[in-house]
């Protein structure tokens, strides 16, 4: 596996000693730190196997082709772990998983947990060059394809260009598929004896997966997330959404998106069910709403653009669409106030959660349940920290040192706590630009992540809430100065989007001679 920077090698954020104590105090006073006892020691597969032992026939994962009980899911994961070990995969290796979103992807993730390797997804829609770059930068040993038919040609071509061997998922017991290509599957049947070892978790900071984000250079950056950060985020969703075994979560995100991880795994910790929604249904709002109703889905997460399409297409639908939905989670884009108003008026039975977070910090780091008083703000709050996370709003002074912002001041958001990942795989230069040794406290990771996002720490008086909350203002590099006046382009966009005739807005600055 490519080398990761150690904490000792990370740069130190230049914060005056007096400001360190002040930042700690402000973070505690304004609720920007949140401690919550969570057992981070179990891999997800361990929870799956416990449920399988207690309630083996309980449905765990459903896709368009089949439903896996907890017992079947655990067995499939162990047989895939056997396959990976026979292919030479060892703890610490990187395993690519490619193909269409389906139940087998979840089995593959759990199998990778069992052998102590790292998961890196390769989406079937990516061009071969993207597949090549991701597998090469990740240092993947194999690409495990999960399609029952012929894998996408781009996956095969990209793996070949990266020099990564392809392993086809063999037929599962009781399920027939097309004949396997002997060039890609060396005669190993999935009905072999299951892997008999215990989940290989060496430590809580063991890397668990690598996800690639867009890079300004045009080359993707591989963000490494640790086991403890992933598990903490899963429990954050359970705590804040009050999830139970009765919940069904729609898995809608492409494999390359960070939200796909929690969508695949979170219900499995509590005996709930994951329902994998294929793109043919997920891209059709009316068909998607029908699937939510028919399959008893209670939790959905979409980008605001898709929420808008959903409301638009359901405007003439019969009353009762999405009637069993408990939560709609909006993420990935800024959530407009007017869209939120439409949701609250149209779907009053389903709460709306605004979620914010970077891939580098194990996905979401803030949650905020939208209420009507929020709609009076130009820009909606992104909320307060998830469990075991510390948030700092800092501003850079003329001497390049950083000081802490107080209420109603604007600064840049920094994230500390168990959620902060390892950095960018094999890229120490980019890692040192965004990750710092945490000067504020002895957190489990000892790392601080610089988001590059401008936020305002809203006072209760400004937000109308009972406690301080964060408001997202856009990227720090979108702040401009016109005639000596600092302006946030995102702020202007938010005002334009309040007009009923404006669906979306983008503001840019042109300089004229």
> For residue range 361-383, what is the model confidence (pLDDT) as tens digits?
999 999 999 999 999 998 999 99
Residue 480, phi then psi, degrees to nearest 5: -125, 165
> Is the model's pLDDT at 9 over the cut of 90?
yes
Q: What percent of the chain has pLDDT over 70?
A: 91
Tokens describing residue 90? 């060892």
Mean pLDDT along residues 325-338: 95
State whether 244 and 368 are in the same domain: yes
Does residue 214 fall inside a structural domain? Answer: no
pLDDT of 68 > 60? The answer is yes
pLDDT tens for residues 409-436?
A: 999 999 999 999 999 999 999 999 999 9
**252 shares its domain with 274:** yes
In a domain, 480, yes or no: yes
Q: Do 346 and 411 have their domain in common?
A: yes
> ∠ CA(422), CA(425), CA(427), 5° rounding?
105
Q: Which residue has the tokens 């495990």?
A: 144
CATH code of the domain covering residue 33: 3.40.50.12780
Report pLDDT for 381: 97
Phi-psi region of 184 (alpha: psi -120 to 50; beta: other; left: phi over 0): alpha
CA 477 → CA 169, 411, 458, 490, 508, distances in Å?
A: 45, 12, 21, 11, 12
Whether 228 is covered by a domain: the verdict is: no
pLDDT tens digit sequence for 435-453: 999 999 888 999 999 999 9
Alpha-helical regions (H) of 278-359: 279-282, 285-294, 304-314, 337-346
Rounded CA separation 67/413 (Å):
42
Which of 410, 414, 469 shows the shortest CA–CA distance to 439? 414
Neighbours of 127 (CB within 10 A): 11
Q: Is the model's pLDDT at 188 over the cut of 50?
A: no
- Terminal alpha carbon distance of the chain: 52
Question: Do 241 and 165 have their domain in common?
Answer: no
Same domain? For 424 and 303 the reply is yes
* Whole-number Å distance between alpha carbons of 169 and 255: 17
Is 406 within 8 Å of 392 (Cβ atoms)?
A: no
Residues 59, 32 share a domain: no
Q: Looking at the domain assignment, is residue 224 inside a domain?
A: no
Please tell me the predicted confidence (pLDDT) of residue 482. Answer: 62
The residue among 225, 227, 283 whose CA lies nearest residue 254 is 283
Tell me how many domains the chain contains: 2
For residue 513, is pLDDT > 60? no
Q: How far apart are CA 505 and CA 108, in angstroms?
A: 41
Q: Is residue 227 part of a domain?
A: no
Closest by CA position to 367, among listed 346, 350, 378, 351: 351
Report pLDDT for 498.
77
Return the structure tokens found at 8.
């000792």
Structural domain contains residue 225: no
The verdict on residue 216 lying in a domain is no
Identify the pLDDT of residue 178. Answer: 37
Alpha-carbon distance of 387 to 240, in angstroms, equals: 9
Q: What are phi and psi of 72, to 5 degrees?
A: -65, -40
Are 466 and 388 found together in one domain? Answer: yes
pLDDT bucket at 492, cuts 50 / 70 / 90: confident
* Residue 484 pLDDT: 38
For 84, the domain range is 44-200
Average pLDDT, the chain: 90
Residue 324 burial (10 A CB sphere; 0-12, 13-18, 19+): middle
140 and 36 in a single domain? The answer is no
The verdict on 332 and 399 lying in the same domain is yes
Q: Are residues 450 and 478 in the same domain?
A: yes
Positive or negative, the CA dihedral 146, 150, 154, 156 is: positive
Residues of the chain by 3-state class (helix, strand, coil), percent to 5? 35, 25, 40
Residues 70, 36 share a domain: no
Distance CA 314, CA 310 (A): 6
CA distances from 78 to 109, 177, 404 (A): 11, 20, 49
Domain identity same for 446 and 353:
yes
496 pLDDT higher than 70: yes
The pTM (predicted TM-score) of the whole model is: 0.90
C-alpha–C-alpha distance, residues 197 and 116, integer Å: 11
Using only C-alpha atoms, what is the Rg of the chain? 23
Q: Per residue in 211-238, pLDDT tens?
A: 998 654 457 789 999 999 999 999 999 9
pLDDT tens string 138-183: 999 999 999 878 889 999 999 999 999 999 887 655 443 333 343 4
Burial of 491 (0-12, 13-18, 19+ CB in 10 A): middle
Which structure tokens are listed for 186?
């060396």
Higher pLDDT, 351 or 198: 351
Q: What are phi and psi of 83, to 5 degrees?
A: -60, -45
**End-of-domain residue from the set 200, 218, 247:** 200
Q: What is the CATH number of the domain that holds 124?
A: 3.40.50.980
CB atoms within 10 A of CB 395: 13
Q: 194 pairs with which residues across the strands?
A: none
């Amino acid at each position: 596996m490519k080398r990761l920077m150690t904490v000792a090698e990370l740069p130190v954020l230049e914060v005056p000693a007096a400001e360190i104590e002040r930042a700690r105090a402000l973070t505690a006073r304004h609720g920007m730190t949140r401690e919550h006892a969570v057992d981070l020691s179990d891999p997800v597969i361990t929870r799956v196997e416990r449920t399988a032992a207690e309630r083996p026939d309980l449905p765990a994962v459903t896709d368009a082709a089949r439903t896996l009980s907890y017992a079947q899911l655990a067995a499939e994961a162990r047989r895939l772990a056997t396959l990976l070990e026979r292919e030479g995969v060892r703890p610490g290796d990187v395993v690519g998983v490619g193909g269409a979103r389906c139940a087998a992807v979840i089995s593959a993730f759990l199998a990778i947990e069992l052998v102590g390797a790292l998961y890196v997804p390769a989406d079937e829609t990516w061009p071969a060059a993207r597949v090549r770059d991701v597998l090469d930068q990740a240092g993947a040993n194999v690409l495990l394809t999960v399609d029952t038919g012929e894998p996408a040609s781009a996956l095969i071509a990209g793996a070949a260009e990266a020099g990564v061997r392809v392993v086809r998922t063999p037929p599962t017991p009781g399920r027939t598929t097309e004949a396997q290509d002997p060039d890609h599957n060396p005669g190993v049947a999935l009905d072999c004896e299951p892997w008999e070892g215990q989940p290989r978790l060496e430590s809580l900071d063991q890397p668990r997966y690598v996800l690639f984000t867009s890079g300004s250079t045009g080359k993707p950056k591989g963000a490494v997330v640790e086991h403890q950060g992933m598990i903490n985020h899963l429990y954050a969703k359970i705590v804040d959404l009050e999830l139970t075994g009765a919940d069904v979560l729609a898995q809608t995100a492409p494999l390359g998106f960070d939200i796909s991880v929690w969508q695949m795994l979170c219900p499995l910790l509590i005996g709930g069910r994951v329902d994998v929604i294929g793109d043919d249904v997920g891209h059709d709002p009316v068909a998607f709403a029908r699937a939510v109703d028919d399959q008893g889905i209670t939790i959905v997460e979409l980008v605001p653009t898709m929420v808008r399409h959903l409301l638009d297409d359901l405007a003439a639908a019969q009353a009762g669409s999405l009637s069993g939905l408990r939560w709609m989670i909006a993420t990935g884009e800024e959530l407009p106030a007017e869209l939120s108003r439409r949701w609250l008026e149209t779907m009053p039975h389903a709460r709306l959660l605004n979620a914010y977070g970077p891939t580098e910090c194990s996905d979401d780091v803030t949650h905020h349940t939208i209420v009507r008083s929020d709609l009076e703000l130009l820009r909606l709050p992104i909320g307060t920290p998830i469990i075991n996370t510390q948030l700092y709003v800092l501003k850079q002074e003329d001497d390049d040192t950083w000081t802490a912002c107080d209420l109603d001041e604007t600064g840049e958001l920094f994230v500390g706590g168990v959620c902060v990942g390892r950095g960018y795989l094999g890229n120490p230069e980019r890692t040192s630009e965004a990750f710092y040794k945490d000067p504020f406290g002895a957190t489990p990771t000892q790392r601080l992540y610089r988001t590059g996002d401008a936020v305002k720490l809203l006072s209760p008086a400004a937000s109308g809430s009972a406690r301080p909350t964060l408001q997202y203002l856009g990227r720090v590099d979108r702040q401009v100065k016109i005639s000596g006046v600092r302006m946030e382009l995102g702020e202007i966009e938010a005002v334009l989007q309040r007009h009923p005739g404006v669906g979306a807005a983008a503001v840019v600055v042109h300089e004229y001679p």
